[in-house]
Amino acid sequence: MSSCWATIQDYGLRSLGIGERILPKSDITFCEQFVLIGSGLIWNIYFGLIAVFFGFWFAIILAIGKNSRSGLYRVPSNSFIFLFRGSPLFIQFFFAYELFVLLPKAGITLDLGFVILSAETRWLTRAWLGGIIVLFCNTSAYSAEIFYGAIRSVPSTEIEAADAYGITGFKKFWRIIWPSMLRLAWPAYTNEAIFLFHATALIFFSGFPAWRQSGDALYYASYFADKTFNPFLPYPIVAGYFIAVTLLIIYLFGRVNHHLNRHLDLKQKSQLKFSINLLR
């Protein structure tokens, strides 16, 4: 047990580059596998959180654009959604990586007058930035389709009532459409969040190299499967971790769903269905 504690100290934050530099090579114990794969999970959670948080807002902008009567907003939104929903995420990662590699190495300097920002383009070829950008665009497109569907199914009576009270413009959106839209979209959006979290496992297998062997949970799992020739331990461990986080997502999103439905009586409440509804 004490040796396992030492393993946690050595490898607990290995995926962030903290701790023992060299990965275990021989006599690999269960504890080492469990700790290192768990350490990799930090990356999956990081990718998932950042992409969902930023993707949520961009998806709403896209959904409003897609719902717009003016082609100026509708066509770009539609094309963006089609591009990222119509092609495999795996290919998107490869394409983006090769694109980022071709960018000039020197970096871009932005002179904003009061402050000079310098962004290094080589960061784009690293998973923590390049991978996030692709994931962000991908989840935005999928969520936008969900939110668009929800906007379309906001009861017309609510909008008519708003018109009757003289509520217009941004206020109409923010006070009337937005709450209903979010409530209607939430069960499907929960599903999207789960699928996105699963998709984070693809990043280190698709062009983006794991720098100094700091990878995600699946990266370490396949490392162990390669080293021990025994897939029956690392892959169930990684599966267990993913199931645990998926249950956490369902719980957290369920709480939000409860909050969004709090004004409705029991009959109208849309329960988060535990059975899967496929969206991708």
Partner 1 sequence: MFNICANPSSLEGTIWLICYLTTAKHFAFYFSFIVVLMLLILAAPLSLLFGFAASTAVRSSVWFVRICAKAYINMVRGIPDVVFFLFVPLALDQLFELIRHKTLCSDVVEPIWRGTDFMVCSAAKLPLSTADLWVHQLYSFILALIAFAIVFGAFAGNVLTGAMKAVPKDQTDTAAAYGFTQKQIFWRILVPQMWVYAIPGLSNLWMILIKATPLLFLLGVEDIVYWARELGGSKTSLYAYPHPDWRVYYFAGLLIFYLSMTWVSEKILIRLQNNLSHGQATMAGKELQGDI
Instruction: Read off the tokens for 105.
Output: 């190495």
Site string for partner 1, 23-52 (x = CB under 8 A): ---x-x------------------------
Of 123, 80, 125, 137, the closest CA to residue 98 belongs to 125
SS (H, E, C) 222-251: HHHHHHHCCCCCHHHHHHHHHHHHHHHHHH
Site for partner 1 in 73-92 (CB under 8 A): 82-83, 85-92
Least CB distance from residue 74 to partner 1, whole Å? 18
Binding flag, residue 94, partner 1 (CB under 8 A):
yes
Residue closest to 207 by CA, chosen among 87, 122, 105, 127: 127
Q: Indicate the residue among 49 and 91 with the shorter CB distance to partner 1.
A: 91
User: What track of x and - describes contact with partner 1 for positions 237 through 276 (by CB under 8 A)?
Assistant: -xx--xx--xx---------------------------xx
Q: Is residue 173 a contact residue for partner 1 (CB under 8 A)? A: no
Identify the CA nearest to 193 among candidates 253, 132, 244.
253
For the chain, the helix, strand and coil percentages under 3-state DSSP, each to the nearest 5: 70, 5, 25
Would you give the binding string for partner 1 spanning residues 120-159, x where CB under 8 A is met? ----------------------------------------
The minimum distance between CB 258 and partner 1, in angstroms, equals: 20
Nearer to partner 1 among residue 177 and residue 221 (C-beta) = 221
**What radius of gyration, in Å, describes the C-alpha atoms of the chain?**
22
State in angstroms the smallest separation of the CB of 246 from partner 1: 4
Task: Find out whether 10 and 194 touch, Cβ atoms under 8 Å.
Answer: no
Residue 104 makes contact with partner 1 by CB under 8 A: no
Angle at 30 between CA 27 and CA 34, to 5 degrees: 125
Residue indicated by tokens 């290919």? 91
E-strand stretches of the chain: 108-111, 116-119
Contact characters 224-243, partner 1, x per CB under 8 A: -x-xxxxxx--x--xx--xx
- C-alpha 262/C-alpha 251 separation (Å) is 16
Q: Which is nearer to partner 1, 98 or 163 (CB)?
A: 98
Site residues for partner 1 per CB under 8 A: 26, 28, 82-83, 85-92, 94-95, 98-99, 101-102, 194, 198-199, 201-202, 205, 218, 221-222, 225, 227-232, 235, 238-239, 242-243, 246-247, 275-276, 278-280
